[in-house]
Amino acid sequence: MASRTGVRISEKFVAEARSGRDLGARPTRARLRGVSEETTDPAAVTEATGAVPEAEIKDDNQLRGVEFKKLMRKPLTWILILVLAICGGVGGAFVAPFIGGIAFAVCVLIGVLIVFAIADSRAEDAFFDHYAKSRGLTRSDTNFPAVTNLLQNGDERQTDQYMSGKLSDTCDGAIGLYTYTVVSRDSDGNREETNYPFTVLYTEMPEMLAYVNELRVQNKVGFKALEGFEDKFRSSERVTLESEAMRDRYEIFVGKDQDPVWVRRLFSPTFIVWLTDAPPKKFTFELQDGHLCCAVPKHRKSADELDEMRDVSLKVVDRLHEEMSQSS
């Protein structure tokens, strides 16, 4: 009898182990609140547990509501809001009683808006922490080095997010958010700032110095009729390819002493087709003194957008390595 019971217990243990269940686990909050163990719907899990499943975090929008609820559930939050509202109400009451009531309500609203702003900041931090961790990267306060034209632009520069580590099996580097600022003065001497945000992937490629020391593939700007005139004042040399689609989207520049034949080989027909079809709009890259910087305008703050930026940039890295190996 004992033997048969032991067999049944062992069979149950094996069956449950294979299914990934923990025999000693207690019911989770989700199960206590009526969400079944098999539930995979992130909305249901979030509602039941107050947290978004990590595997489902695509952007900070998914976390903003969760962070807001966390803050609003804290007694200290309401104490601070009420202190603000009471101070505002008392001050308004000195003017007129109804003014005090309006001031009280307005201060409560302001307090809630402040809490929402804090929750928004926390949600963004939590998203980038998760993104870095899930991709095997390290998030830090490091700045992108000012080693290419884009990373040297502007009067002021700021790295808003920096996640570094192994981007692929063959490439180490960093991906993140970068902004440069152009400072000017109006007619009254007041300071004016214009910000230019980018999502950037950066990696070092010193092995490319033997083949190309300066290469810029940038978005097409200006008028074609003025290209010849503009080129007279450039420190670099324009490379013109036969592909009309490529010419319509990009401008390519290299150092004056660069071998144009090698550059034209780099832009093989398949690479040209890929460049004109695959990358996100306004994608650019520049290779300067062994430093590669790939960029798209605006801060991309979703997992899908960051993954796309990583993937297209790594395609450029692979193509550079491919042409280098063929030239060796």
Structural domain contains residue 15: no
Q: Which of 107, 134, 161 is the last residue of a domain?
A: 134
Q: Does one domain contain both 102 and 148?
A: no
Q: What is the mean pLDDT of residues 38-62?
A: 54
Q: Does one domain contain both 101 and 190?
A: no
Structural domain contains residue 8: no
Give how many domains the chain has, as a whole number.
2
Q: Does one domain contain both 115 and 188?
A: no
Lowest mean pLDDT among 16-25, 150-159, 218-227, 245-254: 16-25
Q: Does one domain contain both 182 and 223?
A: yes
Q: Does one domain contain both 222 and 299?
A: yes
Residue 273 backbone zone (phi > 0: left; psi -120 to 50: alpha; other: beta): alpha
- pLDDT at site 313: 97
Structural domain contains residue 17: no
Residues 240, 246, 249, 250, CA torsion sign = negative
Structural domain contains residue 289: yes
Tell me the C-alpha distance between 233 and 216, whole Å: 16
Q: Does one domain contain both 266 and 316?
A: yes
Inform me whether the pLDDT recorded for 86 exceeds 90.
no
Q: Does one domain contain both 235 and 113?
A: no
What is the residue-averaged pLDDT of the chain? 80
Q: Which of 134, 162, 178 is the last residue of a domain?
A: 134
Q: Does one domain contain both 142 and 130?
A: no
Cα angle: 142, vertex 152, 311; to 5 degrees: 65
pLDDT tier for residue 188 given thresholds of 50, 70 and 90: confident
Structural domain contains residue 124: yes
Inform me whether the pLDDT recorded for 31 exceeds 70.
no
Domain that holds residue 311: 137-327
Q: Where are the alpha helices (DSSP H) in the chain?
A: 2-18, 29-32, 42-49, 61-72, 75-93, 97-134, 149-152, 227-231, 244-249, 260-266, 269-277, 303-327
Lowest mean pLDDT among 100-104, 146-150, 303-307: 100-104
Structural domain contains residue 104: yes
Q: Does one domain contain both 179 and 91?
A: no
Q: How far apart are the first and last CA of the chain?
A: 76
Q: Does one domain contain both 86 and 165?
A: no
Q: Does one domain contain both 145 and 173?
A: yes
What letter does residue 187 receive in the DSSP assignment? T
Inform me whether the pLDDT recorded for 316 exceeds 90.
yes
Q: Does one domain contain both 120 and 159?
A: no
Q: Do 164 and 131 form a contact (C-beta atoms < 8 A)?
A: no
Structural domain contains residue 5: no
Structural domain contains residue 280: yes
Residue 244 backbone zone (phi > 0: left; psi -120 to 50: alpha; other: beta): alpha
Identity at 60, one-letter amino acid code: D
